[in-house]
Structure 1
């Protein structure tokens, strides 16, 4: 587990500046540590998604017990409910959600593009109607940074435009260039609002779709700006894995070695292992929590679907060697029963299994990089998925 920098009341005991330290490499794979005012994040790291201030179907103490150092919150959802100003008045998102460790917030841009109604985008920002009640809002780079500041997140994201793929190259280029201009405005707002002085970090987001030249141009331009970290956005939106990995390979050599790299919205365990091999340090995805709510477990044996009748009479736990109680102490037959009857406990237990597995995957990656055997670790892990339980 990481060093805990919070007091017994959940508040900060010492606000330390944002920093990144590279501890080991194995080829392009990196092992490091991000320091924030609320703790140390071991990288490569998977960040459970807590969109609305909660990792769905889990207690925060259990999220922490899996080994998670950081969770993600979402600007779009939290600005709509309960409102950033309200969260700030209640002590900030760390206290509000009972998570006294590192929090990353995304900018809300992706959700505006995918969820909001009647949206209109221009140079200033994007105006949209809430998908909840139709109320009209405006989200600009400055307002996004203001909201993230009110939430008190340790790692914040610039507002960008995520162009859906496939898209014409001219549309991808337009979105990339707009995102660069918004990156500059986001940085200026972050500094004006005192983010660096609070020890917080702001990440720029590389865009450019599936066009290598545009990705490279975006990465070079962002690397020239004084961001604390850099993200790769606009991937994991339906393109083949080979395209995603190729775009990472274009971008990685152009980003500063001494800053963390974050691949947004990724992904499957296989996506993560392959992306770590290409120099990515941080990941987030709703997949492990969403899958758990739909009866699917990720394990070292591969995926297990508990809607399948083959589990109905199986007295074995998911994994008797696991330290996770949900994977070790409940029979597959019982988990099948919970899923088939729609009991909330089924979603809770399988989500716990999945978040724990993702954290184990990352710990294994960190250990393997430090030992100089990351390629072997990937091969052994994938072999376990292929072999299943024999």
Structure 2
């Protein structure tokens, strides 16, 4: 779906990015009794940037969102929006004065208001550009011409689009998205992610997405912050977080990975149950080698049409998780060990014997901290 601009009042992304540090979170901690939900969290966003906060349940990501929105008071640290402090241990600006827009898991539209009235809810009725802004935001989210409909006449995906348009309409300094696609069908989520990302960038909005869905974070965000146990473990582009994880835990959480012990951190090659693996050097304190499933190549055993390279190993296929465009294959190796390989749309069958090997260098990382 192509989302197009309809008026000249929309902020351009280049203009939005001119002001640095639209959001500053410095050393923020939050405790609930004996439980530390946030432990000195620090993050910065430039204007117009889209950050995804990714982590397992209970890691503190929702608490961080609530502190930014003003729903929770912080115990220490500082939160600032556009250079204005909104949260300090002795200062707590209430949510309505922060002008932060929150898009919840379910759109939470006003059922008695039309789509246009929902979108314009945060706009002054005396604003002469109000109608134009409502129409513009509906176009941004792909719902142009549907302003007269009522929420119950829309699908779940359309209701989430209206919720996003309502959040964007007043041009808030920050848009917070709290797992907004979790209640939608898988096929609908893919299309909506793409359209939401485009709408946010087209409008130059600064946004933070809170999610436990790796595909959601990696496909939508400019940068990803990975959280665990109330701390930020790594911040980087999706490519950096996936390709150069800071430790074994991040490597195994962000995407699938098999971890192989590394005895000598200066080694450039290591012998594994998958054969010899080339290791990228230069990571101090490295103790594990990350083997991604897409690096594991498979060929039918003793197939003259595709002979396996020297150093390949024999394996038996135990499970195949078929996704249509690709498949994740679990292999049983010698000694009962297992590994994973990602294949194309025509994977081997369960029970097949295959030759397996690792293609390309693998990254060495420190072991995960407890």
TM-score class normalised by the smaller sequence: 0.3 to 0.5
TM-score, length basis structure 2: 0.36
Name the structure with the higher helix share: 1
- Is the strand fraction higher in 1 or 2? 2
Which has the greater radius of gyration?
A: 2
